[in-house]
Chain A
Amino acid sequence: QQPVQSPQAVILREGEDAVINCSSSKALYSVHWYRQKHGEAPVFLMILLKGGEQKGHEKISASFNEKKQQSSLYLTASQLSYSGTYFCGISRGNAGKSTFGDGTTLTVKP
């Protein structure tokens, strides 16, 4: 079952913050985040495995709620290079595939 990502698109000015959400109707084993620029491959950002976990650094970080049904990606003081489409991938077990959301397109303008 595919995770639901929101919002679908975000437009920011440099220096502004953004939050991208990824939710599932059932508890997950893991959630991972990727950024894809147009015409390129998705690039791994981080993976979260534990309920209540927070990960990343001050500019790009993510959380996984206690029930392991929702994750949020936080982009702080955005830079032009943050532009791209962000995908979350979810897995229900440690030996299976990941299912990706439809993506959130982030555009950072000067």
Chain B
Amino acid sequence: NAGVMQNPRHLVRRRGQEARLRCSPMKGHSHVYWYRQLPEEGLKFMVYLQKENIIDESGMPKERFSAEFPKEGPSILRIQQVVRGDSAAYFCASSPLGETYGYTFGSGTRLTVV
């Protein structure tokens, strides 16, 4: 049973380009969460999704960031017109039924904006 799959592992983008981060949850998990982590810092919540629905996006910056979890396919975190401050590790986590089970994290995508 594959865990949470994130790709790419490393992504380099020039300022102004778009970054697309993908996350496939564990089989049987219907809840997906995205977190951002700066070096030597904690995990900051960005967005919580279920299939075809955004449940909580209170941690998402108002501009340039968007997320989706379509009926078919992985969840996508999209960052438009990236800036140097977007450089971070982005982790996706999934759980079967929300908070009762804890999260399984993916290996993360390390985004570097040059």
Residues of A within 8 A of B (CB): 29-30, 32, 34, 40-44, 46-47, 49, 87, 89, 91, 93-103
Contacts and interface: CB of A to CB of B under 8 A. Distances in A.
Interface residues of B, number: 24
B99 A93 contact: yes
Contacts, number: 64
Interface of B: 33, 35, 41-45, 48, 55-56, 58-59, 91, 98-108
Q: Which 3 A-B pairs have the closest CB atoms?
A: A41-B105, A47-B102, A100-B43
Contacts of A103: 42
Contacts of A99: 45
29 contacts: A29-B99, A30-B99, A32-B102, A34-B103, A41-B91, A41-B105, A41-B108, A42-B91, A43-B105, A44-B102, A47-B100, A87-B42, A89-B103, A95-B55, A95-B99, A96-B55, A96-B56, A97-B33, A97-B45, A97-B58, A97-B59, A98-B33, A98-B99, A98-B103, A99-B45, A100-B42, A102-B41, A102-B42, A103-B42
A41 B41 CA distance: 13
Nearest to A30: B99
A2 to B, nearest CB: 8
A102 B41 CA distance: 6
Contacts of A41: 91, 105-108
A93 B105 CA distance: 20
Among A42, A91, A100, the one with the most B-chain Cβ atoms within 10 Å of its Cβ is: A42
A97 B102 contact: no
Contact of A42 (B44, B101, B105): B105
